[in-house]
A and B are shown apart, each in its own frame.
Chain A
Amino acid sequence: MKRLLILGAGTAGTMMANHLRPKLARDQWNISIVDQEKVHYYQPGYLFLPFDIYQPKHIKKPIEKFIPTGVNLIQEKIDKILPEENKVLLANNNVLDFDLLIIATGTKIAPQEIQGMDGPGWRNNIFDFYTFDGAKALRDKLRKWQGGRLVVHICEMPIKCPVAPLEFAFLAEDFFRQKGIRDRVEITFVTPLSGAFTKPKATEILSHLLVEKKIEIVSDFAIERIDNTSNTMIDYGGKEVQFDLLVTVPTNMGDEMIARSGMGDDLNFVPTDRGTLQTETQENIFAIGDATNLPASKAGSVAHFESEILTENILRFINKQPLKAEYDGHANCFVETGNGKAILIDFNYSHEPVEGTFPFPGVGPLRLLKESRMNHYGKMAFRWIYWNMLLRGRHLPFVTPTMSLAGKHFDDMQEHEN
């Protein structure tokens, strides 16, 4: 009996379990998945929880509900991987042997990386919304906050879902307007990037929206520390930004287990081949989703597209066929812009988000890089798709894992080398 081991039962790991179990003969392959958590969170919902748009029950379900029968769920903390011995050590001293390993341990926030961030202000006037607890604490704060200077902030790249902080700023603007206190709130968006987003074409459109919504932007801000007495962020160049309420995206790092295993880069992300998803550590170890160092967005859509390609590569590896270097960095994100509208962007390693229609060329119904209500409904419908189709490894009709160029307007196309 051969053993396939998946570390992490989040979006990527759960999808892999669901993809692979029907494809690997049960009398030949044992599949186990390890995760210490009991709850599977619908992470895109963290954006809506602070504004009371979603309730906790919408975004929490038991982890085991999504693990297919025939896959062994081990709920224990992982100590480390011993790659050369093809073993994984658990915190309870159990040892798991593997023939094939898939690392899907994701990314976490690390507020302790910035001096003064997780001090007295943490979850008092400094919040994150990248964790369930953080988003819920922020909801409680926003329910009673009467206005002042709100700063929405990104510490350093890469982060999970790079558009989420902008969406947060847009939704906050909408929220305060609905509440009738918009005139008492000053909103500032502070980023280490040179503009609103990482991709020039989308940045142009998003910057325009920031102006329209009277959200000030401070760019090229590389935070060094936070002064908790004056509630000020100070950057390495000496620039200062004062806040009454700071909603920050702390440094994102891979799991500490990756560091303990000696397999990570500076941020504990696993060096991985950007086309095949095989790790640089060892040929029988693959990585997927936020855990990799791929120059793609850390996002559920990326994990979803990767999972279809990784499934094929795992089967090829087992059959001793050459791997397909097929993953192209495809990401597809709905960007909430407030007022019940959203923008949809579709891009990959080399192609910027462009205008056009999705998924049907020339038809839509979704519009790329343009604000529309239909896009917003798409984002809202996605929660159902996530729980019922995506996690269960069902192929989404008409959506391809590599990016389709049809129906997209590439007249301003810019090729980018990564």
Chain B
Amino acid sequence: MKKGIAGASLDVNEEGYLTDFAQWNREIGTELAKEEGIELTDDHWQVLTFLQESFNHSEPLSIRGIGKRGPVSIKQFYELFPEGPLKKASKIAGIPKPSSCI
């Protein structure tokens, strides 16, 4: 599936997650965030960077893991990305939907 955003054509799955992280950049992240109704601040970027680094190291992502090792508390994570923060933040970060829900 293709999706046009920030002047680029992106490969996404049926839920709108990027299928190729190489296509992601900050501009695209900003636009994806707007689609979720989120204006990105420095705090948001810290979380997004953390998620991308974890993903690149093949570390499984979970809300619990963010609270334990991430740059913000779980409470703040929910404030930054309300309702389903991990799913939302992963989409904006250009990484796959976390598989922590089996």
Contacts and interface: CB of A to CB of B under 8 A. Distances in A.
B62 A266 contact: yes
A220 B102 contact: no
A295 B75 contact: no
Contact of A157 (B68, B83, B84, B101): B101
Contacts of A162: 102
Interface bin, chain B: 20 to 34
B99 A418 contact: yes
A237 B83 contact: yes
Q: For the complex, would chain B's binding face be called helix, strand, loop or mixed by DSSP majority?
A: loop
Contacts of B77: 236
Contacts of A220: 83-84
Contacts of A298: 102
Given A237-B78, A237-B82, A198 B60 contact: no
Contacts of B65: 266
Contacts of B100: 157-158
Contacts of B96: 417
Contacts of A414: 14
B40 interface: no
Interface string A10-33: 000000000000000000000000
A250 to B, nearest CB: 13
Given A220-B83, A220-B84, A237-B78, A266 B68 contact: yes
Nearest to B68: A266
A158 B99 CA distance: 10
A414 B15 CA distance: 12
Nearest to A269: B60
Q: For the complex, would chain A's binding face be called helix, strand, loop or mixed by DSSP majority?
A: loop
Interface residues of A, number: 24
B99 A295 contact: yes
Nearest to A417: B96
B12 interface: no
A224 interface: yes
B83 to A, nearest CB: 5
B57 interface: no
B102 A236 contact: no
A158 B60 contact: no
A239 B36 CA distance: 19
B87 A194 contact: yes
B12 to A, nearest CB: 13
Contacts of B82: 237
B98 to A, nearest CB: 10
A385 interface: no
Nearest to B14: A414
Given A222-B63, A266-B68, A267-B64, 13 more contacts: A156-B62, A157-B100, A193-B101, A194-B84, A198-B102, A220-B83, A220-B84, A224-B75, A236-B75, A237-B78, A237-B83, A266-B64, A414-B14
19 contacts: A156-B63, A157-B101, A158-B100, A158-B102, A192-B101, A193-B101, A198-B102, A220-B84, A222-B63, A224-B75, A236-B77, A236-B78, A266-B62, A266-B64, A267-B64, A293-B60, A295-B99, A296-B102, A414-B14
Interface of B: 14, 60, 62-65, 68, 74-75, 77-78, 82-84, 87, 96, 99-102
